[in-house]
Amino acid sequence: MDLLSTIRKTGSRGGVNFSWDEVANSSHRENYLGHSLKAPVGRWAKGRDLNWYAKSDATPAESAETDEERRDREQKEELRKIKEAEEDAIAKALGLPPPLRN
């Protein structure tokens, strides 16, 4: 008896023709790892952010800032890094140790 010579099931399970929509309609959807996130079914999943746990926490200071404030903050941070790199290069060229920073 050769178990590999016959096809036990038709279809694709994870191959090229795989579709999460088919999993959502399948009666065996609980057998798929990640079915509750990738193929949610029912009223409980409507309008919910199912990946809430994977998002980074926003600090209160960052969550209250506008896009313009964020751009200004990022620009100031970039300028600070450039100035520090220039100071380090000048100190190295003069043979001095680089300044200590926090």
pLDDT digits 0-9 by tens, 22-75: 888 888 888 888 888 888 888 888 888 888 888 877 665 556 888 889 999 999
Give the torsion sign (CA, 15, 20, 23, 25): negative
- C-alpha 68/C-alpha 75 separation (Å) is 10
Single-letter residue type at 98: P
Q: How far apart are CA 91 and CA 98, in angstroms?
A: 6
Residue 18: partners with Cβ closer than 8 Å, 6 or more residues away? 12
Domain ranges of the chain: 15-50, 58-95
Tell me the pTM: 0.38
Question: 68-87: per-residue pLDDT in tens?
Answer: 899 999 999 999 999 999 99
Question: CA 36 from chain center: how many Å?
Answer: 18
